[in-house]
Amino acid sequence: WKRPMMGKTGTTEEYKSAAYLGATPDYAGAVQVFNDSTSPKGICIGGGPPRLCPEGNIYGGTVPAATWFDTMTKVHADLPEKPLPQVEERFLRGDGQKVPDVVGSAVDKASAMLRDAGYQVTTVSVSSPRPAGAVVAQSPQGVAVRGTPVTLSVSSGPPAPVATAPPAEAAPPQATVPPSPAPGPSSPAPPR
């Protein structure tokens, strides 16, 4: 297949169905392989036609895609090749607009600016050396579609200083007296 086309595969959980949707400038079509029983099992391929099995191994890029390409090859046999249409810029970028940069503003002012521009606002509190209530970050920045939530990171103020105990005062040195020798067998007993 060498014609311009677009396609998308799809596979459900546990391989209970698989699909391929594709289009050319002339035709569009979809192929889905599925088990329509009330308690579907997985679908297995290999060694013959698709069959039911407990584990399943079918994907949209296997039997559904092969069926689509086989069919479309025959349908397009006598048609001239055409390019796909150009994608309009609005579909590439959406209706996005520049998100106001509110970093450094007070949270109330920043929230109002964003809401006035059509965005939703959520806030999270972060420890920062900036004054409490100042916006220190925002996400997203740049361009976003109206209605997108913009998260503001708002300073809760600098972290509280960690209290440390003052150093203990050193005790004055104590004089030590050497111990008296203990009486032993070779030394006389002290007088009484």
CATH number for position 128: 3.30.10.20
Whether residue 81 lies inside any domain: the answer is no
186 pLDDT tier (thresholds 50, 70, 90): low
Do 117 and 70 belong together in one domain?
A: no
Range of weakest confidence among 27-31, 103-107, 112-116, 144-148: 144-148
Residues 103 and 71 in one domain: no
Residues 123 and 69 in one domain: no
- Report yes or no on 186 lying in a domain: no
User: What is the model's pLDDT at position 183?
Assistant: 62
More confident residue, 173 or 125: 125
pLDDT computed for residue 190 by the predictor: 60
Looking at residue 166, what DSSP letter applies? P
The answer to the question of residue 49 being in a domain is: yes
Determine which of 78-82, 169-173, 187-191 has the lowest per-residue pLDDT on average.
187-191
Q: Which of 17, 42, 75 is the last residue in one of the domains?
A: 75
In-domain check, residue 65: yes
| Same structural domain, 68 and 114 | no
Identify the pLDDT of residue 68: 97
55 phi, psi to nearest 5 deg: -90, -35
The reply to whether 15 and 67 lie within a common domain is: yes
In a domain, 104, yes or no: yes
Q: Give pairs for 59-63: CB < 8 Å, separation 24+.
A: 59/9, 59/11, 59/15, 59/18, 60/8, 60/9, 60/10, 60/11, 60/18, 60/19, 60/20, 61/9, 61/20, 62/18, 63/18, 63/31, 63/33
Same domain assignment for residues 65 and 111: no
Identify the pLDDT of residue 67: 96
Position 156 scores a pLDDT of 95
Residue 26 belongs to a domain: yes
Who wins on pLDDT, 63 or 54? 63
The residues with which 120 forms a beta bridge, in sequence order, are 149
Same domain? 70 vs 112: no
Q: Looking at residues 50-79, what average pLDDT do you find?
A: 94
Q: Give domain status of residue 28, yes or no.
A: yes
Residue 176, domain member (yes or no): no
pLDDT in tens, 92-140: 767 778 999 999 999 999 999 999 999 999 999 999 999 999 999 999 9
* Total tally of structural domains belonging to the chain: 2
User: Does 170 score more than 90 pLDDT?
Assistant: no
Query: In terms of residue numbers, what domain contains 48?
Result: 6-75
